[in-house]
């Protein structure tokens, strides 16, 4: 990596998420808007995983139930 091509770095960039969560982080932009953050991302909340698991279990139940 060429250091002279590195963009300006803000150590106190403000990040605002669509869920309302706001926090500061290190970034190359002074202000950042994101659609998911660690507070509402499915990976962190586990919601998506639960929905996914239930769908698979339901499919298996249907498959074995038809036998």
* Interface residue list for Zn ion (CB under 5 A): 17, 19, 21, 37, 39-40
CB of 32 to Zn ion, least distance (A): 12
CB of 20 to Zn ion, least distance (A): 7
**Whose Cβ is closer to Zn ion: residue 10's or residue 36's?**
36
CB of 31 to Zn ion, least distance (A): 15
Instruction: Kindly state the tokens that stand for 51.
Output: 């929905």
**Whose Cβ is closer to Zn ion: residue 31's or residue 58's?**
31
End-to-end CA distance of the chain: 60
CA dihedral 37, 40, 44, 48 (to 10 degrees): -130
Alpha-helical segments (H) within 1-67: 42-45, 47-65
């Amino acid at each position: 990596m060429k250091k002279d091509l590195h963009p300006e770095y803000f150590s106190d960039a403000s990040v605002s998420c669509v869920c309302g969560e706001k926090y500061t982080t290190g970034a190359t932009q002074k202000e950042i808007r994101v659609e998911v953050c660690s507070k509402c991302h499915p990976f962190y909340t586990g919601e998506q995983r639960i929905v996914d698991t239930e769908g698979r279990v339901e499919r298996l139940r249907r498959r074995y139930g038809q036998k």
